[in-house]
């Protein structure tokens, strides 16, 4: 495995690379780097090499179907090229893989731009927006809304234990947006004056449930209690196909040192990175094709991913 690829995997695990889209882009880049640096002499050995790297990349953040779906896109493309009636050479397949990687990244950027446009239109004028953790989809929508002339304020939850909310607050402040950082436990106090709640997404199930940063479910419950619309920004690639077959999305548990570095031996510490928010608490998903209800996401996502459930 190429050294650069190993570093990317390490950076994903340590959260140096954050955000589902950023992680997916890094994984795609890693596969491209491995392809470029591969010394495989046969198509079979090249494909086997890519599968090993893909498995390690997917395992770096287990609760990230956008990463898995992007990796499948790359490896499926590789297999299609290798199984053509006229088998291509290793050199030619490598060239095609690099071209496909570039096309996939361009498509991701276009999807993000469309999502930001739809989300920006959804934000009311003079609104109080509550958000949680850091999502490039959410910050992109807010910055796009700012550019269109809308005035609004943002309440950003700090998001313990890694404080990703600080990243959100800094990014929005740098864009000239009025933002206030609050402790997570103050969600209810500030939701009383909120007009809309926006969060990102790490994974979406076939039922339309949302898997996102721990604390998201609490935020959604509080939003519903105060009759505040709760939306999640999510490209369709964040849908988890495995959930249609009853497989539950894995909730990653991170190092307890993130919560308490030197806790007493008799004190147990848990550090789940994500939680599940039921579809009934979600007004809609903001996607690259528009704002859609949770119940519709399954059909639209499977179509985009090219998944055929029935023959």
Cα angle: 6, vertex 110, 104; to 5 degrees = 40
Please tell me the distance from the alpha carbon of residue 291 to that of residue 294, in angstroms, as a whole number.
10
Q: Which CATH architecture has domain 3-112?
A: Up-down Bundle (1.20)
Contact 187, 222 (CB under 8 A): yes
Q: Which fold has domain 123-305?
A: Rossmann fold (3.40.50)
Secondary structure (DSSP) of 69-117:
HHHHHHHHHHHHHHTSSSPPPHHHHHHHHHHHHHHHHHHHHHHHHHHHH
- How, if at all, do strands 203-204 and 196-199 pair? unpaired
CB neighbourhood size of 218 (10 A): 17
Please tell me the distance from the alpha carbon of residue 235 to that of residue 283, in angstroms, as a whole number.
16
Residue ranges covered by each domain of the chain: 3-112, 123-305
What is the reported pLDDT for 43?
87
Please tell me the distance from the alpha carbon of residue 244 to that of residue 114, in angstroms, as a whole number.
27
197: three-class secondary structure by DSSP? strand
What is the reported pLDDT for 310?
58
Helix (H) or strand (E) holding 37: helix 20-37
Q: Which two tokens stand for residue 158?
A: 């700090």
What residues are paired with 292 via a beta bridge?
Answer: 285
**pTM summary value:** 0.90
Would you name the residues annotated as active-site residues? 133, 202
What is the reported pLDDT for 53?
92
CB neighbourhood size of 280 (10 A): 10
Cβ-based burial of 302 (10 A; exposed 0-12, middle 13-18, buried ≥19): middle
Please tell me the distance from the alpha carbon of residue 66 to that of residue 86, in angstroms, as a whole number.
32
Largest Cα–Cα distance in the chain?
Answer: 65
Dihedral sign of CA atoms 152, 145, 291, 185 in order:
negative
Per-residue tens of pLDDT for the chain, all 311 residues = 888 999 999 999 888 898 888 899 999 999 999 999 999 888 889 889 999 999 999 888 888 899 999 998 888 888 888 777 566 788 888 888 899 999 999 999 999 999 999 999 999 999 999 999 999 999 999 999 999 999 999 999 999 999 999 999 999 999 999 999 999 999 999 999 999 999 999 999 999 999 999 999 999 999 999 999 999 999 999 999 989 888 888 899 999 999 999 999 999 999 999 999 999 999 999 999 999 999 999 999 999 988 776 55
Please tell me the distance from the alpha carbon of residue 218 to that of residue 87, in angstroms, as a whole number.
53
Dihedral sign of CA atoms 264, 158, 202, 281 in order:
positive
- How, if at all, do strands 210-213 and 203-204 pair? antiparallel
What is the reported pLDDT for 8?
94
Radius of gyration for the alpha carbons in the chain, expressed in angstroms and rounded: 20
Q: Comparing C-alpha atoms, which of 114, 152, 160, 99 is closest to residue 130? A: 152
């Amino acid at each position: 495995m190429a050294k650069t690829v190993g570093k990317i995997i390490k950076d994903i695990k340590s959260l140096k690379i954050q955000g589902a889209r950023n992680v997916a882009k890094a994984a795609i880049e890693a596969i491209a780097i491995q392809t470029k640096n591969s010394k495989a002499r046969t198509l079979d050995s090249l494909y086997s090499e890519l599968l090993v790297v893909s498995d390690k990349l997917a395992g770096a953040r287990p609760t990230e179907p956008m990463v898995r779906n992007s990796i499948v896109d790359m490896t499926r493309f590789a297999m299609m090229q290798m199984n053509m009636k006229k088998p291509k050479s290793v050199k030619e397949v490598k060239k095609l893989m690099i071209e496909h990687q570039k096309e996939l990244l361009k498509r991701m950027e276009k999807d993000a731009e469309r999502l930001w446009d739809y989300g920006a239109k959804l934000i009311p004028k003079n609104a109080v927006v509550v958000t949680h953790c850091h999502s490039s989809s959410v910050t992109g929508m807010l910055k796009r809304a700012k550019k269109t002339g809308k005035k609004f304020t943002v309440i950003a939850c700090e998001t313990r234990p890694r404080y990703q909310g600080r990243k959100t607050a800094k990014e929005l402040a740098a864009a000239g947006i009025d933002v206030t950082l609050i402790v997570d436990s103050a969600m209810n106090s500030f939701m009383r004056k909120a007009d809309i709640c926006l969060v990102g997404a790490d994974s979406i199930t076939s039922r339309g449930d949302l898997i996102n940063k721990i604390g998201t479910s609490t935020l959604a419950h509080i939003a519903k209690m105060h009759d505040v619309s709760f939306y999640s920004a999510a490209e369709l690639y964040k849908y988890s196909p495995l959930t249609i077959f009853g497989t539950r999305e894995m909730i990653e548990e991170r190092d307890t040192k993130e919560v308490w570095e030197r806790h007493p031996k008799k004190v147990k510490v848990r550090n789940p990175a994500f939680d599940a928010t039921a579809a009934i608490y979600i007004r809609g998903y903001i996607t690259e094709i528009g704002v859609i209800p949770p119940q519709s996401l399954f059909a639209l996502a499977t179509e985009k991913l090219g998944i055929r459930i029935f023959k």
